[in-house]
Amino acid sequence: MHPAKNQITGSPAGTKSAELRLWLLLAHQPGMYSRLYNRLLDVLGSPEQIFSSNVATLEASGASSETANAISAAGRGSVSDAARTGLETCWQWLDADNHSILLRNDPAYPERLAVIPDPPPLLYVSGGPACLKAKMIAMVGSRRPSADGRRNARCFASELAALGLGVCSGLALGIDGESHAGALQAKGVTVAVLGTGIDVVYPARNTKLFEDIAVNGALVSEFNPGTPPLPPHFPRRNRIISGLSLGVLVVEAGLQSGSMITARMALEQGREVFAIPGSIHNPMAKGCNRLIGQGAKLVQDVADICEEFEDLMQQAALNRPGLQASSSQALPKELARVLAAIGHDPVTVDVLLPETGMTVEKITALLAELEMAGLVRRGQRGYSRTLPD
């Protein structure tokens, strides 16, 4: 026998808080989206007061005629079949282990996200809600990265996780997936922000990753359960990725990409933006190179990220004292000058001569020293920086 249902929300009577029921009911009204939801809260005070308002007041607060009439009707106990079905789906999802919902006024709601423009009024979380408050770096990039991009994403994520930092991304194919996988490989925390309902795995190829993140980190969505992947949802998802994080690292991205949107949102939110430079011949590096030209910090090592945050440098020193040893800034001046002149594309000694102003003998000796330290490698076409395995 099923428990009695609440006549307004359709929720099992006495099993969910009245406040949560009203927040969810409001989220399931037609035409409801985060900006309108937040405006109604700011003007009218609470879901209870919103449902108690008349149509004229709701329209004056920004709701369309359809939405205002639906809210008013629901407040009088006339809930649509679609809203009832949606609420029933929420209750079923919420009954499972490690599933939770955070409201905008909840003390457990992540502080960094709460202060961005248009914060999600509520968050569906599968996994550990505390993960959303962790110190995190967002990592974003192309869905079709180069081999170097994949390797860089996994390596940087592993390095950040090894320092005790969380990695936040969007569970997409390519850089997102590699970033999540790198953090998990290092037994660190990773948070995936979805552009679908919390119960929808997208893309399907990331099903195993979806399951692993729910166990070892957190999946989070502002969209009601059952919401399919629709194009407008992903830019909205991106503001949450940057909003949860201290800064955004763009690993590899084209000029026209969602990663560039995330970087712009990060700047609007007052977050740091970092980018890994790439070859001018790689179309998937053009976005990163442009960001660097526009003022994003060029990143060659996790130390370049940590040094922008004093508390992260202290945390890095505790977790990995040798972190800065691989940074060119920590090398002797002449070695640092040669290393700075070498990219991931091979260069010959002849190319380095005008770059460094040194003699052939001096450069050759310094290259040998860098090679012994594992910072550069010599190939048939010259010297290049060492990429992590």
- Are residues 237 and 193 in contact, defined by beta-carbon separation less than 8 angstroms? yes
Which tens digit of pLDDT belongs to each residue from 356-370?
A: 889 988 998 889 888
Which tens digit of pLDDT belongs to each residue from 249-296?
A: 999 999 988 899 999 999 999 999 999 999 888 888 999 999 999 999
Q: Considering the domain 331-385, what is its CATH architecture? A: Orthogonal Bundle (1.10)
Weakest mean pLDDT among 54-63, 121-130, 219-228, 326-335 = 326-335
Which tens digit of pLDDT belongs to each residue from 155-173?
A: 999 999 988 899 999 999 9
- pLDDT for position 315: 57
CATH 1.10.10.10 intervals, the chain: 331-385
On the question of pLDDT at 379 being above 70, the answer is yes
Span 97-120, mean pLDDT? 95
- pLDDT for position 388: 53
Q: Which fold has domain 127-322?
A: Rossmann fold (3.40.50)
Reported pTM: 0.78
On the question of pLDDT at 177 being above 70, the answer is yes
- pLDDT for position 186: 93
CATH 3.40.50.450 intervals, the chain: 127-322
- Are residues 328 and 339 in contact, defined by beta-carbon separation less than 8 angstroms? yes
